[in-house]
Amino acid sequence: MKRAKNHAEKIGAKRLCLSQEHLDQSRKAAKDSYPNEACGLLFGHEKDNALVAIEFKLLPNVDHSAVHFSIDPRDLYDSLVEAEERGLTLIAIFHSHLIRVHPSETDRKFMELWPIPWLILSTTSDRFGAFILDEGKSQEVRIQVN
């Protein structure tokens, strides 16, 4: 299975390109899951030094928690296989936070395993942020809405 080729030093120069529809889908997912965290995956491809989202796939937070999320491993695997069959790559992981738009300690631990941008929505401020881990510190990735 493929993930976007993007270790931390390469991703710093990249942007995460999303459509307004992707942002709206993320907001709706967060609203519908509230107070629990919503989660999902963004699939797309790399183009012109950017990660371009083509598809947003909402997945259930099997933790049913307001402070962390987990995606069922079978749902994750199936989503990755389906995307690869359509020529898409996992380019970002989405989830919502109640307050902060920055990655939590738990997020940072999992960002080490999944070194792609993590798109976070604060349901309180309705603000998005995208981050990647670089030498143990979260670095912001620019979001571009197309």
> Which token pair is 58?
């909402």
End-to-end CA distance of the chain: 27
Catalytic residue among 9, 37, 112, 140: 37
The question of whether 37 is a catalytic residue gets the answer: yes
d(CA 127, CA 146) in angstroms, rounded, equals 17
Which phi and psi angles does 72 have, rounded to 5°?
-55, 130
Q: Which of 24, 60, 68 is nearest to 40 (CA)?
A: 60
> Which token pair is 78?
């199936």
Alpha-carbon dihedral sign for residues 12, 52, 110, 23: positive
Catalytic residues: 37
